[in-house]
Amino acid sequence: MPADSSRSQQHLKAINRALASGTYTQVRQLINNLPGAEAAHLIESSPPREREILWQLLSKEQETEVLQYLGEEVRVELLRNLSTDELVSLVEELDTDDLADLLQELPDHVTSQVMASLDEQNRERLEHVMSYPVDTAGGLMNTDVITVRPEITFEVVQRYLRLRGDIPRTTDNLAVVNRKNQFIGLLPLTKVLISDPGTTVREAMITDIQSIPATLPAHDVAKIFERHDLVTAPVIDDEGMLVGRITIDDVVDVIMEEADHSLMSMAGLDDDEDTFGSVWQTARRRALWLGINLLTALAASAVIGLFEATLEKVVALAILMPIVASMGGIAGSQTLTLVIRAMALGQIQSNNTRYLLFKELSVGAINGLLWATVIGITAGLWFSDVSIGIVISVAMVINLIMAACAGALLPMIMKKMGIDPALAGSVVLTTITDIVGFMAFLGLATVLYANLLV
């Protein structure tokens, strides 16, 4: 049963056809039979009107399924229209970690009603998960971990599991705890399968493993999973008590969100920006970013304004002036992107920043010299003027070295100041490269032509 993406593509097409022709009974049947993740994807890929229709057509069970897979922004938008009762019955079905995430987005009176509707054990678990920030191990964890004591034999373990009758999804290990519920080791299920039934848990358990403090940031959790190829990991609190476990599927979400973050932030977009959101919402969100950039563009214009007299005399300068600024922006963005990624990967340490800076400055100088020569000759020939060729060459080298310097240092400085370099880095960088570019080019020209023209 090769269920590859072509099958789901066909489903989507069928649903879209049915939607377009208004045969909702058919859409209802199709969308409720899709896996939750695919139905969620379909809803996220739909314009507002279709999105609302699809959501209405979901069955109760499918709604709960779909809810877990929707992006935050779309989820909040769809839930906003539900009554509190509907919300309560809907969210009761979710896993502890998903429920905890969701409750944090909902109004307080809904949260307390949901809490009240849970039985004591589940409420305690939920309160536990919610006591940790969303972006920590505690916020990521689930509480469905199966524990065993070290002194029992595999025969007892297997009898216990049979009695239980159900093992939570993605369980590869049992957690071994002592009487105080302190975590002492992991017992891989495969060991239970292949070892002699008389073996005790203590004999077979692994103790040299990665248990994760509940307060560890999600970013570091993801790194531990990546580096050690984990599928699940136990989470402990300050006293070493086992409080839950983290599964790889939640870690994959963290990894994807972090990767998205750099890409989206560098364009001044929200990580969670809704591709098919409404016009007003989108326009409002982006207006600020454009406003900030308008200010920086005005600053660059003010710099140009300083050289009004020179520009009046030599109009060729106006024609060539965007080149130096633009090349600085491009070269600087390369360094900036590289450093931001390296920082996200944890590659930047105090002992290698000097080499990194040396490397980027050298690269800036080499490429500066190369393209300065090309543009110098081009500009000289274009305007039959050697001086303008010299001016643009020198300005280009200066700006490319400056760009490398800013691209490498800005993210590090911003991080120290607690500013997100992915968000603010590119604005500040292009402001610098524009101002330095115009200043160097027009400034040099002013000096040179003042001597020539006088």
Residues 46-85 within binding reach of a copy of itself (CB under 8 A): 46-47, 69
Regarding 213 and contact with a copy of itself (CB under 8 A), the answer is yes
HSE, CB side, 13 Å, CA atoms: give it for residue 177.
Answer: 21
Closest distance of CB 382 from a copy of itself, Å: 8
Identify which of residues 114 and 388 has a Cβ nearer to a copy of itself in the complex.
Answer: 388
Closest distance of CB 285 from a copy of itself, Å: 9
Closest distance of CB 353 from a copy of itself, Å: 10
| Tokens 């524990």, located at residue | 147
Answer positive or negative: Cα dihedral of 231, 237, 239, 241: negative
**From 75-83, 108-116, 128-136, 159-167, span contacting a copy of itself (CB under 8 A):** 159-167
Which residues are paired to 212 by β-bridges?
Answer: 235
Are 226 and 258 contacting, i.e. CB atoms less than 8 angstroms apart? no
Q: Kindly tell me which residue out of 273, 390, 409, 420 binds a copy of itself, with binding defined by CB under 8 A.
A: 273
What's the CA gap between 299 and 431, in Å, rounded? 8
Identify which of residues 39 and 110 has a Cβ nearer to a copy of itself in the complex.
Answer: 39
Q: Which helix (H) or strand (E) holds 175?
A: strand 173-177
Regarding 298 and contact with a copy of itself (CB under 8 A), the answer is yes
Regarding 223 and contact with a copy of itself (CB under 8 A), the answer is yes
Regarding 433 and contact with a copy of itself (CB under 8 A), the answer is no
Regarding 446 and contact with a copy of itself (CB under 8 A), the answer is no
Are 212 and 235 contacting, i.e. CB atoms less than 8 angstroms apart? yes
Q: Kindly tell me which residue out of 84, 104, 169, 452 binds a copy of itself, with binding defined by CB under 8 A.
A: 169
**Within 324-353, which residues bind a copy of itself (CB under 8 A)?**
325-327, 330-331, 333-334, 336-339, 341-342, 346-349, 351-352
Contacts 24+ apart (CB under 8 A), 198-202: 198/153, 198/154, 198/155, 199/153, 199/154, 200/150, 200/151, 200/152, 200/153, 200/154, 201/148, 201/149, 201/150, 201/151, 201/152, 201/153, 201/154, 201/157, 201/176, 202/150, 202/151, 202/176
What's the CA gap between 252 and 250, in Å, rounded? 5
Regarding 239 and contact with a copy of itself (CB under 8 A), the answer is no
Regarding 453 and contact with a copy of itself (CB under 8 A), the answer is no
Q: Kindly tell me which residue out of 26, 32, 122, 170 binds a copy of itself, with binding defined by CB under 8 A.
A: 170
